[in-house]
A and B are shown apart, each in its own frame.
Chain A
């Protein structure tokens, strides 16, 4: 196993500490600009989230399934822009790290340096750009690194063994293990690839490894955490925000927290 060659930033330092105390890491995803999204962030933070991933809605989200697509369309219809979302985030007084998820055209259109600066000014510490793979990431990463924004890299089940270490090497904050072959959305079962990916990654890095995409409820989060350092929950959170509102998100985050605080074995 290789230790990080880079100096860990705010997110990575925080997540390493959390992990090293034996606590599993929980990161809910919330689409920025939806009705009640700021309350949902506060509620999630108060109920056991360790960081929050905020999605900046994009017109053509190719990594997203129906729920997050619907949320993105709704937020855009209601007038959300990257600027309005980052502006509202400045007023959020939670004490956990904020991460932004956005498609690359949002970054490209704003300009790398300008975008990284706007994240920092909004108090965001990290970025996930799902359509910017390793080979295309150098320019953005250079700007992000120099401004202190940690770029989380995704590692997918299709990556051959030879590729994973290169992805991990470029990752900052944590490594995002893509849990299945497919787009975001709720599934009835946790795919076998979720734990398999976490296992492959844990073998080659001591950075925190979080599983996301297709982790759909408390029980699946618990299963994934048998190997992973934590989980990202997207569609299951966004669906609750869309259908039931911010309180429902807070309650759900509390449920998932309780589940991952209880290891699988003692629960059966």
Chain B
């Protein structure tokens, strides 16, 4: 595609909920009125200054925003680039998930709902949901794949500590995709009293749009902060990891009209954009890893938060028009990336963001002297037990 023709505008989907050909609302009839009600409620809340003030106050006084930028002088020098991190790992609960959850749970309360349902992969969205539910006095049920319960046991305990109920998803691959199925089944049965708090820019309209709006605070802050430390310029490259794609959309949204390369890094075993084809699951049309008959394939990633065969529809759109690119890295590269940031900068990243680190390290020879802004979407505490098993005695 001619770079001149690449769209540089953030889309607001219309009534059909589409980003280009992607998105939509492919849900059971039972849920259609609930999605319509949510769309109305969100639009009203988002244009209500009282709601926005209440949310901003929570983000500031509870989540700890704005998150800072940290320049990686050591790693930057080592790689021959200027590397700056947006520190979403420093938010309360340890990741970017809290941005969207505070917005959604406030909205749920405004809509008169009594109960929150959430799905979770790594457990970060589950912990954020349990946290917001505790703060705002709502009941909370989190669905989590049985495989993930095993590898993220620390977060399971945190959710329980916060008063949430954690239910294992035992069907299919027993990971994030199946947790989403279970959450949707619960929602079909409890739609009158429950709010489904989706963990990423995915699902039926208005979720992909709404979650992006809630996460856009990352990009808004980052653009301004970056310009302050870099003499008013924008980064050459913005990098984020992509599971469903919410932390990536959050930071991309601030740079969509900038002269900046947008890079979303997928795991090699869950490369929906990179290796998928258009399909429909979990309420949306988007790129999907599937077989010739449309059966959804199981993703395989070292990181539970990226172990998902689909991707948010706006990423499919950005890829299809050439505005963003979606390379992938394998598990071994991720392990190296994880160690690299820890050793060079004293920052242990979540395994999800170690994907972004891995891509940057690999790409470095081609981007010498460039400025790179990476979204550090979460901290690595939750992954330490898993990495202990993997790295074991190899550390010296």
Interface residues of chain A, those whose CB is within 8 Å of chain B, are 58-65, 69, 73, 76, 81-83, 104-106, 108-110, 130-136, 153-160, 163, 167, 178, 181-183
Contact = CB atoms under 8 A, between A and B. Distances in A.
B265 to A, nearest CB: 25
Given A60-B296, A109-B294, A178 B279 contact: no
B190 A181 contact: yes
B82 interface: no
A159 B294 contact: no
Interface of B is mostly: mixed
A134 B32 contact: yes
Interface in B153-176: 171-172
Interface in B112-163: none
B293 A182 contact: no
B290 A105 contact: yes
B24 A136 contact: yes
Given A62-B185, A131-B27, A181-B192, 18 more contacts: A59-B172, A60-B177, A61-B181, A62-B184, A81-B293, A82-B293, A105-B281, A108-B279, A109-B294, A131-B280, A131-B283, A156-B30, A156-B32, A158-B33, A167-B29, A181-B188, A181-B189, A182-B188
A229 B25 CA distance: 30
Contacts of B280: 104-105, 108, 131
Contacts of A157: 30
Nearest to A65: B185
Contact of B294 (A106, A131, A135): A106
Contacts of B184: 62
B338 to A, nearest CB: 31
B372 to A, nearest CB: 36
B171 to A, nearest CB: 5
B5 to A, nearest CB: 27
Contacts of B282: 60, 62
A13 B283 CA distance: 33
B30 to A, nearest CB: 4
Contacts of B281: 60, 105
A55 to B, nearest CB: 14
B16 interface: yes
B204 to A, nearest CB: 9
B172 A60 contact: yes
Given A60-B282, A76-B295, A181-B189, A135 B172 contact: no
Nearest to A104: B280
Interface in B272-320: 278-283, 285, 288, 290, 292-296
B28 interface: yes
Nearest to B298: A59
Interface string B23-52: 011111111111000000000000000000
B195 to A, nearest CB: 15
Contact of A133 (B29, B171, B192, B290): B29
Contacts of A81: 293
A108 B28 contact: no
Given A105-B290, A157-B30, A63 B25 contact: no
28 contacts: A60-B172, A62-B188, A65-B185, A105-B281, A105-B290, A108-B280, A108-B285, A130-B28, A130-B29, A131-B26, A132-B26, A133-B27, A133-B28, A134-B29, A134-B32, A135-B16, A135-B25, A135-B32, A156-B28, A158-B29, A178-B29, A181-B30, A181-B189, A181-B190, A181-B192, A182-B188, A182-B189, A183-B185
A62 B29 contact: no
Nearest to B288: A105
A82 B185 CA distance: 24
A109 B293 contact: yes
A136 B25 contact: yes
B367 interface: no
Nearest to A157: B30
Contact of A154 (B24, B29, B294): B29
A183 B189 contact: yes
